[in-house]
Amino acid sequence: MCKKIFAILTLTLFAITGLKANEYCEAPMVPVNNNSIFNKFTYNSCGIHNFNYLKVGGGIVRAHHFYSITPTISLGHRFDKGNSAIDLSINWAGNDKKTFYATPRVVVLKYLDHNSLSSMYYGVGLSYGGITGHHTRRFNGIFAEGVVGWETYLEDVKAFAEINVSQAAVPFKDHYSIDAPVITFAVGVGF
């Protein structure tokens, strides 16, 4: 059942956002500072630069007072405009004992140097999701999301690395416990 829901949500996400993201414009690359030993380049912004992405990594999930290191995978789409972006994604981290899912996850990102081909970014947002322990549901509800990352543009793809923190915030039932945050580190590629 869970695999069917994940597949349907994934297909819906890519149907809404389109299978091919917008290309970067053909604006000429111009050096920002010729005296610098680092050749920093900028590009002329000519519209929204959207891209789909796949993100993989590892995470720490806590349930029943035990921590577990788990693999994590995310599929998403980033709506990029200038120095900010909206990140819409489906996230999963888990193993045979603990599982975390967030679907959908919406995060507003802010780039520190949006005129560069590489930039640090940070963001906050919300998601609907859950944490399950061994044969029990520990939390189901709204998560507060935080992210810090680095993104770079490489020829035909975007590459990024980020740390995500997902804190259970609003349970849908009173008996759900609010555990420690789920922390994930992931690397991704956007196309």
Residue 15: give its domain's CATH number. Answer: 2.40.160.20
Range(s) of the domain holding residue 13? 2-190
Q: pLDDT by residue for the chain (191 residues), tens digit each?
A: 445 445 555 555 554 444 444 444 444 444 545 554 444 444 444 444 789 999 999 998 875 566 778 999 999 999 988 789 999 999 999 888 788 999 899 999 999 987 888 999 999 999 999 988 776 777 889 999 999 999 998 877 889 999 999 999 989 887 777 778 899 999 999 98
Q: How many domains does the chain fold into?
A: 1
Residue environment code for 133-164, b if the CB has 16+ CB neighbours within 10 A, otherwise e: beeeebbbbbbebbbebebebeeeebebebeb
Give me the amino acid identity at 140: N
